[in-house]
Chain A
Amino acid sequence: MATSLIILLAGGWLILAPFALGYQPYGADWVSQTTNDFWVGIPVAVVALVSFMLFFVSLIASLRAAGVLLVQPRLQQQTLAPGPAMMQTPSPVVPAAYESQSDLDRTLATLAAALAADLNNRRQAQASSDQQSDQTISNRRDV
């Protein structure tokens, strides 16, 4: 990357040098040295610029892969339904980008546990009511 940057600067200097050093007369046709330097400097600068950009992109990618740079999550655009749907109270919608598999699993596990506890409570209540009715029947028989 440093190499490509130095070569980019050298290519830029090759393009500018005939005018900066004054060996190209002002307003006259380009001398052969100017033409040579200019047409050599342009490809050198372009190739060096391309290689610098490639190095920069690969550096960023490797930094992201190493976890040094964080990848920003892309939010999915939510399309709002026009008309009456706008008047309804919106239920809390979690963007799909934020939903990870572990969150979904956790929510489902909590829901299943709540349903199981509710079922158990109902069964216990039913069992206790059955016992009470049996006791009243036996009491009546005794009487």
Chain B
Amino acid sequence: MMYSGDAMRRLFPLGSYVLLLFFLTGIWVAISPFVMTTQPSGAHWIPSTINNVVVGAILIAVSLLGVVGYMTFALRDILREAREKQLKQELAEQQAAGLAANQ
């Protein structure tokens, strides 16, 4: 059995927090032209706005993919370990039952 704290630590390692930081940075990069009013309202997007939105979107997408990848692999490992434990337990029970039947 695994404590919920351990499971959470395995699901969200240190790398996930760094990726979360990149995610927030990506949001800021994408919205900064509008927040800093370098993009005139109502006009077509200027090159700097297009650049910032594209780079921000890349940062958001990549960091989200990274976090999801971390979680997926950690979840797969946890499930695999649980299955192996269950199989070992069943095998031990079967062996114990066989020994009892022989005696």
Q: Indicate, yes or no, whether A interacts with B.
A: yes
Contact A21 B21 (CB under 8 A): no
Interface residues, chain B, CB within 8 Å of chain A? 15, 18-19, 21-22, 25, 28-29, 32-33, 36, 38, 46-48, 51-52, 55, 58-59, 62-63, 65-66, 69
Contact B38 A7 (CB under 8 A): no
A21-68, CB < 8 A from B: 21-23, 31-33, 36-37, 40, 43-44, 47-48, 51
One of B22, B32, B47, B52 near A44 (C-beta < 8 A): B22
Interface residues, chain A, CB within 8 Å of chain B? 3, 6-7, 10, 13-14, 17-18, 21-23, 31-33, 36-37, 40, 43-44, 47-48, 51
Q: Taking A21-B47, A51-B15 as contacts, is the C-beta distance between A40 and B38 under 8 angstroms?
A: no
Contact A51 B18 (CB under 8 A): yes
Contact A23 B19 (CB under 8 A): no
**Chain B min CB distance to A51 (Å):** 6
Q: Taking A31-B38, A33-B36 as contacts, is the C-beta distance between A13 and B55 under 8 angstroms?
A: yes
